[in-house]
């Protein structure tokens, strides 16, 4: 691949001299001489005389000699040997074949060939899955009708786009756009930040207009809603048990706390997944502590109980005032 478009500069006599051969030699002599010189001058060999330029000259001479031998008439027994030799690839290129993929050193070509194989395997898997899906839904009249409608829609859209492009090109040819304001001046697409890539800006605007939210935004919202729900549920469960708790209620409260700890552990796994996909380092979240959440729930429960008891005290005082209000009014009337 590297030498496919290269034109050699040596003539046939110099080529024989470079290969250290004489005219009229056999194919075996040419092959043996080329092999020895390739081992001697090849850049990847461990020889102390390795030289890339010398190896290129040897390769050019080898190709010219092969062409010269192929052009000369050969007896019938030798034609089979020549065809067999021409069909073979160069000896020093056997380990560099890689289906003709890649350039560079052998290690670089090997890496490029491995990546090529991975991409090809991926395409084959996708084609296989597509064929399976097509064969699965091939017998459905509804799917065929849907495909027909979709294809018609695509054709109509393409036809309209071509018509619009033709009209624009026709108007440009007539000079209808020559008198537009701002002709020859750069477009002011992004007045806020001119350094933003136009394609990225347009894609983000389209996604935002259609209600798209990134994965990390959805995960963050889900984590916040989950922790709020867990906090409310643990406080509600504690209020149902009352104060003080009996022995059975204490066992039930222990099971509730164990379930709460398990829910916190699962929530922390979601936090790990969120930290892997969030693009901003400052937006990463820390794990929720079971002990801190239990202490928070306890304080919330005590505040709710205190508020309820305070409201009950006010209500009892109000009822007592209503109950004894007629007696105080009677005493005041008697005094008067």
The string of pLDDT tens digits covering residues 37-66 is: 888 888 777 777 778 888 888 888 888 888
The pLDDT score that the predictor gives to residue 15 is 83
Q: CA–CA separation, 308 vs 230, rounded Å?
A: 22
Helix, strand, or coil (residue 101): coil
Q: Give the contacts of 98 (CB within 8 A, at least 6 positions apart).
A: 109, 110, 112, 113
**What's the chain's length in residues?**
336
Phi, psi angles (nearest 5°) of residue 243: -140, 125
Q: CA–CA separation, 286 vs 292, rounded Å?
A: 13
Judge whether 41 and 49 are in contact, CB under 8 Å: yes
Round the average pLDDT of the chain to a whole number and report it.
78
Q: CA–CA separation, 127 vs 9, rounded Å?
A: 48
The pLDDT score that the predictor gives to residue 326 is 61
Nearest residue to 91 via CA among 36, 18, 29, 25: 36
Mean pLDDT value of segment 6-11:
56
The string of pLDDT tens digits covering residues 11-29 is: 788 888 888 887 778 888 8
Q: DSSP of 147-162, one letter per residue?
A: HHHHHHHHHHHHHHHH
Q: DSSP of 149-195, one letter per residue?
A: HHHHHHHHHHHHHHHHHHHHHHHHHHTTTTT-TTTTS-----SS-TT
The pLDDT score that the predictor gives to residue 275 is 93
The string of pLDDT tens digits covering residues 214-234 is: 888 899 999 999 999 999 999
The string of pLDDT tens digits covering residues 174-214 is: 888 777 777 777 655 555 666 777 777 777 777 788 778 88
The pTM of the full predicted model, rounded to 2 decimals, is 0.37
The residue extents of the domains of the chain are: 12-70, 99-139, 140-175, 215-310
Phi, psi angles (nearest 5°) of residue 334: -65, -40
Q: What is the tally of helices (H) and strands (E) in the chain?
A: 11, 0
The pLDDT score that the predictor gives to residue 90 is 47
Judge whether 82 and 27 are in contact, CB under 8 Å: yes
The string of pLDDT tens digits covering residues 93-145 is: 444 466 777 777 888 888 888 888 888 888 888 888 888 887 776 656 566 66
Q: Which residue has the higher pLDDT, 258 or 320?
A: 258
- In CATH, what class is 12-70? mainly alpha
């Amino acid at each position: 691949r590297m030498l496919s478009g290269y034109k050699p500069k040596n003539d046939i006599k110099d080529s024989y001299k470079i290969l250290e051969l004489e005219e009229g030699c056999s194919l075996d002599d040419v092959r043996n001489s080329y092999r020895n010189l390739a081992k001697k001058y090849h850049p990847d060999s461990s020889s102390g005389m390795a030289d890339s330029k010398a190896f290129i000259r040897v390769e050019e001479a080898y190709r010219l000699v092969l062409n010269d031998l192929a052009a000369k008439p050969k007896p019938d027994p030798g034609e089979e040997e020549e065809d067999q030799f021409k069909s073979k690839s160069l000896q020093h290129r056997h380990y560099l074949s890689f289906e003709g993929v890649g350039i560079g050193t052998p290690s670089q070509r090997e890496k490029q060939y491995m990546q090529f194989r991975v991409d090809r395997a991926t395409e084959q898997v996708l084609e296989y899955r597509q064929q399976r899906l097509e064969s699965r839904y091939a017998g459905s009249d509804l799917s065929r009708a849907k495909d027909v409608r979709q294809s018609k829609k695509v054709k109509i859209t393409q036809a309209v786009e071509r018509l619009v492009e033709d009209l624009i090109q026709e108007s440009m040819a007539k000079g209808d756009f020559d008198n537009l304001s701002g002709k020859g001046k750069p477009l002011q697409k992004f007045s806020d930040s001119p350094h933003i890539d136009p394609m990225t800006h347009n894609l983000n605007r389209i996604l935002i207009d259609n209600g798209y939210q990134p994965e990390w935004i959805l995960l963050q919202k889900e984590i916040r809603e989950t922790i709020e729900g867990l906090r409310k549920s643990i406080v509600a469960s504690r209020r149902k048990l009352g104060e003080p708790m009996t022995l059975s209620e204490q066992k039930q409260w222990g099971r509730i706390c164990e379930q709460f700890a398990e829910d916190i552990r699962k929530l922390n796994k979601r936090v790990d997944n969120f930290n892997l996909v969030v693009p901003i380092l400052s937006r990463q979240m820390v794990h929720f502590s079971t002990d801190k959440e239990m202490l928070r729930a306890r304080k919330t429960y005590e505040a709710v109980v205190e508020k309820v008891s305070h409201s009950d005290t006010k209500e009892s005082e109000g009822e007592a005032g209503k109950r004894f209000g007629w007696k105080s009014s009677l005493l005041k009337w008697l005094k008067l």
